[in-house]
Amino acid sequence: MLLFNSKDYAQTNHWTVKAGESIAASLGDSIIYHYPEFTGGVVHLKNGTLSHASLNFNLVTGEMQFITPSKDTLAIANESSIDHITIQNDTFYFDKFFIQLIHGNTDAKLGKIEIIKQTNVEKQGAYGQMNSTGSIDAIDSYYSSGQMYKLAESTTVTMRKSIILFIGDKNNHFLPANKKNISKLFGKKNSTVESFIKENKIEFNKEDDLIKLVDYLGKM
């Protein structure tokens, strides 16, 4: 719930999936996935084990997926055992969901989540008119157990891509970027951090401002 109730940092695109269409077919892999294609990456487990695989991040399901030797696409299981994942020059941490590292140091990190989520549902009513509703019950589940499903015949859904910024501590525990969560993560430094935020007019929806804050936290 935290992910879907957090304030959006940015919205870059909207897509409409019409009644009876598949979300996978309507959006296509180039939109659903973070990378243009599955790319060689390394899963670093907390026990020190490394696992190499062709990986990609699914923006609709929030899953890190891999290609099996039999060419099937599956989601990585047992995410809580993961320390981090590297793909090309990118690093992803898992703290309830996958968070991509933007900037960091030993004590503090800035990360983001990119997600494509449902924002509006239109269900066909009497005489073929479409009525808006916010209830997810109005549509078929569009993802379950590794399978994409078609929407109900009388349902149209709007999807939106959003980016949410997160602040993390030295233990790779992340919370949405805001003043309250900075206090939770860095409580012992709270008074000086609050002064820095005020003096530098830090805005928590601006990546450049949060990079300055993370650098400051790393020097304390």
pLDDT digits (tens, 9 = 90+) for 15-37: 888 777 777 778 888 888 999 99
- Phi, psi torsion values for 41, nearest 5 degrees: -145, 175
HSE value, Cβ hemisphere, 13 Å, CA-based, for 169? 12
Both tokens of 71, joined, read 């060419």
User: pTM to 2 decimals?
Assistant: 0.77
Residue 89, SS3 per DSSP: coil
Lowest mean per-residue pLDDT among 16-20, 72-76, 107-111, 145-149:
145-149
Give the Cα separation of 168 and 177 in Å (integer). Answer: 9
Tens digits of per-residue pLDDT, 45-95?
Answer: 999 999 999 999 999 888 999 999 999 999 998 999 999 999 999 999 999
What is the spatial distance between Cα 40 and Cα 57, in angstroms, rounded to a whole number? 12
Residues 159/27, Cβ–Cβ less than 8 Å = yes
Q: CB pairs under 8 A, 24+ apart, for 185-191?
A: 186/108, 186/217, 189/217, 189/220
3-class secondary-structure state, position 84: strand
